[in-house]
Amino acid sequence: MVGFGAAARVAALRLEKDPAHVRDLADRLVSRLEAKQVRLQRNTTGSHQLPGSLSLRFFGVDAPSLIDALANSVCLSEGSACTSGQIQPSHVLSAMSFTESEMRETVRIYCGRYNGCSEIDYAADAIADAIRRMTLAHWSDPPVRSVNEGRSR
């Protein structure tokens, strides 16, 4: 019982500090991504989100590909928590009037009690680098030619 009482006291102290800490980390992540000129949209803000949680849309970036590219270094999820791991589109993002294309550009990121600024900075750098590589790969692909293009008649 003594251990439970001590744990309850710690939890009560953390209850005030944790939301501010994780909110600051989430804001830091977004700020660093924006400073690196990553084109993004923060889908929810303020009281409409759980402290430390981010729903970010990266314009022109396929979320599943980004998640795969970062699988060994940064934990990201696709869509909304309600449909994580499902093939169907998120009903939450649909209710927010997202198109299927916009939903495919959306990832979830959580900053937690035990995360620190260095981890957030690492995540921002890794995400920005992965998006840059994906974007460069997309733009460096040779143009698709039709079967008849270039043939003389």
Instruction: Give the DSSP letter of residue 83.
Output: G
Name, in order, each residue with C-beta under 8 angstroms of 110's C-beta and a sequence gap of 6 or more.
Answer: 52, 53, 54, 75
Instruction: Give the DSSP letter of residue 42.
Output: E
Please state, in angstroms and as integers, the Cα–Cα distance from residue 50 to each residue in 2, 56, 88, 121, 142, following that order.
31, 14, 23, 21, 43
Enumerate the active-site residues.
82
Tokens found for residue 125 = 């750098």
Name, in order, each residue with C-beta under 8 angstroms of 122's C-beta and a sequence gap of 6 or more.
Answer: 73, 74
